[in-house]
Structure 1
Amino acid sequence: MQTAFSAAVNQLCDEKNIDKNEVIDMIKAAIRAAYRKDYGNKEQNIDVDLDNESGNTIVYVVKKVVKKVEDPELEMTVAEAKKYKKDPKIDDEVKFDVTPVGYGRIAAQSAKQVILQRVQEAERELMYKLFKDRENELINAVVHRVDGTNVYISLDGKLTTGLPYDQQIPGEKYTNGQRIKLYLDKVIKTSKGPQLLISRTHPNLVRKLMELEVPEIKSGLVEIKGISRDPGTRCKISVSSNDPKIDPIGSCVGQKGVRVKSVMYDLHGERLDIILWSADLESYIKAALSPAKISQINIDDANRRATVYVATDQRPLAIGKQGQNVKLASELVGIEIDIKDIAEITPKVEVDEKKVLPNIAEIGLDPAIVAKLAAANLSLTEQIKGLGEKDLMGVPEISAEDAKQIIEALKNVK
């Protein structure tokens, strides 16, 4: 019949998935530490016999037989050793019972905290070994417990860990027993033990779900080039085909949208926009900003920036609700995108302004011509403005050639 001690050990092993021998070793180590603290000292060599079924404990002090004792805590003479062992010899180890009366209950209380700590350490080490090789993979999980924003996840039915609030999909409600898929980003060792970095918001969660649903992606015929997410709301995925006979978008969407709908279901209804990747940056930007229709794109390669011009009625579509569409497109393409109205493009018209020069001497005429006009009391441009060639030739000393020069110079005068 199974004793209470044996039942407790077996239950602990089952719950924490720890080897029974490892638990027994933990208990022995805890009892040794408790004895040294309560009855002995740190220098003593303590051994513990523990009955795996009943839990009965016997504590021994172990000493070495020597000719001359230098350390009484670890050594004894042959004469002393004869009290505990028949015919002892030099270098023999002798152990004798030092179990205090009623020590079982005292030891259990003293060792409890140590055992719990060791169990936690063993559980963390087990977690590290189990999941280290599964980094960057999809993990099936079950919601173990929900306490406000704290969600505790059971991974593969073996380990329970917390799903950080910032890694939860906004607006998603979790219930006990709910099955969800998680992305295991990394397994790292911290001062508190190994830690699993799991996420429901990581872009690679979408990548792994697409690989699961689309065989062409898993086989490499269709390639996911980029992913940008606003978790729980919208996600843009760019794809390309390595086989000219395969339509990458059609492969991802599936017949009647069955494939993409399955991924959306796993992402709490997150909308997926699947677009065709292009090596031509302008074409890629146009696809990334869909469903908006683009009128013109100016790309500044040096500053990794693009200015996109759209019609007035297309601007809300291009920007999206709270700037979501342009933000996701920028992340997907890898450059900053500015949306502007096509009406903002105005051709530059260069107009040569006519100079206001009231004096004839300032309009660039030959000084001799200016002198001839001055002799006729004509010194201001207003006096001769509007006169024709024949009129000017009526001025004394002004020839036909002089008249032509005057008319040409007046063209630049307001």
Structure 2
Amino acid sequence: MSTQLFDAIDYLAREKGIDKEILLEALEAALISAYKKNFKSATNVRVELNEETGKMAVFSRKNVVEEVEDHQQEISIQEAKEINPNYEIDDVVEVEVTPKDFGRIAAQAAKQVVTQRVREAERGVIFSEYSDREDDVMTGIIQRKDARYVYVHLGKIEAKLAEAEQMPTEEYNVHDRIKVYVTKVENTSKGPQIYISRSHPGLLKRLFEMEVPEIYDGIVEIKSVAREAGDRSKVSVYAPDPDIDPVGSCVGQKGQRVQAIVNELKGEKIDVVQWSDDPTVYVSNALSPSKVISVLVNEEEKATTVIVPDYQLSLAIGKRGQNARLAAKLTGWKIDIKSETEAREEGLLVEEDEAYSDNEESLFE
């Protein structure tokens, strides 16, 4: 066997980023398989490769026994000692059985097996590279699309953007460059599969981390994200340092930071609100941009009744209930919104001149 085969293995290892030992093991397996198939041998054999000379040798391996029952697997102690006097019972004798024309036959068999192993190793390399990108944002180029998927090229692999993960307000054109959120990476029988999304809340969170240095550095924390992709989202943020304005950090000077994210999401409206461990404050903030008069809290049911000025009722609820729905999803609290007039009629709102210091939970008893 010429050194060209070993040169080819060196080349594949460098170009494909595959461990050379994996390819050599594949080659050995291919040669053993070719020997057994073409020479109808059931003998246990070993292949020895010499990279320096480019040569190979096939050795038959037989167990040394007192009395031979299987001539293909065993050799008598007498025969073994003729080869080497030092052999004992249960030793393994290796005898070279390399056929003269084995190089040509082996090369043909090796090509198919090595190609298969190269493909498998490539898949392993790709999976290892992309498995670390789960829950991360990647930039890709749209290659094509059909009725079910948009196919996005992510460097070494093509990912499918399912219809359910697309933004309903977004148009996807071939050759467009887009950012996608990697939801899952799997190593399947067909190779690595990457599942991506444009509608996942994680995309919004990662975009803020990319755009706002204070979030990336851990100075500002994103506590929660509620999103109706393509339409509107709410993000709650918090800064442990009271001297830092978390909302202002995310919005940026003249709204530049949040606007960059809005542009990436093709005009999706984003409300950035301040997180609080006080549900009355947190729920009130979450209903931005509407004004809130009072928030009544039921801790046991994790529910709130929010009272807003009459003229703010529709704004607080939002179009098709969206603002209230997103606020509830953001805070994790049930939210029931009532107008000021309705609250007074139900006795939920005291007069302004009365002391408002009673426990708010009692209103639910």
Q: TM-score, normalised by structure 1?
A: 0.64
SS class of match (1:60): strand
Structure 1: how far apart are the matches of 2:142 and 2:75? 56
Structure 1 residues 322-353: Cα deviation after superposition (integer angstroms, max 9, x where no partner)? 4332221111110122344555447379xxxx
| Aligned pairs, number | 336
324-333 or 117-126: which moved more?
117-126
Amino acid at match of 1:119: V
> Using a 3 Å threshold, how does the CA distance of structure 1 residues 300 and 67 change in structure 2: closer, same or farther?
closer
1:25 equivalent to 2:22? Answer no
User: Structure 1: 5+ residue runs without aligned partners?
Assistant: 350-414
Structure 2: how far apart are the matches of 1:44 and 1:225? 63
Amino acid at match of 1:146: R
Q: By how many angstroms is 1:192 displaced?
A: 7.0
Q: By how many angstroms is 1:236 displaced?
A: 0.9
Q: By how many angstroms is 1:77 displaced?
A: 5.2
> Using a 3 Å threshold, how does the CA distance of structure 1 residues 125 and 101 change in structure 2: closer, same or farther?
closer
SS class of match (1:62): strand
Percent of aligned pairs sharing the same letter? 38
Q: By how many angstroms is 1:194 displaced?
A: 6.7
User: Structure 2: 5+ residue runs without aligned partners?
Assistant: 348-365
Q: By how many angstroms is 1:160 displaced?
A: 1.7
Aligned residue number for residue 97 of structure 1: 98
Aligned residue number for residue 72 of structure 2: 73
Q: By how many angstroms is 1:275 displaced?
A: 1.1
CA contact (8 A) 1:6 1:53 kept: no
Q: By how many angstroms is 1:225 displaced?
A: 1.9
> Using a 3 Å threshold, how does the CA distance of structure 1 residues 13 and 238 change in structure 2: closer, same or farther?
same
- Structure 2 counterparts to residues 1-400 of structure 1, below 5 A: 12-13=12-13, 16-37=16-37, 39-40=39-40, 44-47=44-47, 49=49, 60-64=58-62, 66=64, 68=66, 69-76=68-75, 90=87, 91-98=92-99, 103-104=105-106, 106-107=108-109, 112=112, 114-130=113-129, 136=135, 138-143=136-141, 145-148=143-146, 149-154=149-154, 157=155, 159-165=156-162, 166-170=164-168, 171=170, 173=172, 175-176=174-175, 178=177, 180-184=178-182, 198-310=196-308, 313-345=311-343, 347=345
Structure 1 residues 274-325: Cα deviation after superposition (integer angstroms, max 9, x where no partner)? 1122233122222212222335544333222233344565344333334332
> Using a 3 Å threshold, how does the CA distance of structure 1 residues 266 and 17 change in structure 2: closer, same or farther?
farther
Amino acid at match of 1:162: A
Amino acid at match of 1:326: A
Structure 2: how far apart are the matches of 1:164 and 1:240? 32
Structure 1: how far apart are the matches of 2:7 and 2:266? 42
Q: By how many angstroms is 1:237 displaced?
A: 1.0
SS class of match (2:225): strand
Amino acid at match of 1:73: Q
Structure 1 residues 368-403: Cα deviation after superposition (integer angstroms, max 9, x where no partner)? xxxxxxxxxxxxxxxxxxxxxxxxxxxxxxxxxxxx
Coordinate RMSD, CA, aligned? 4.2
Q: By how many angstroms is 1:117 displaced?
A: 4.5
Of the two, which has the highest radius of gyration? 1
Structure 1: how far apart are the matches of 2:268 and 2:320? 17
CA contact (8 A) 1:27 1:115 kept: yes
CA contact (8 A) 2:31 2:47 kept: no
Structure 1: how far apart are the matches of 2:294 and 2:43? 83
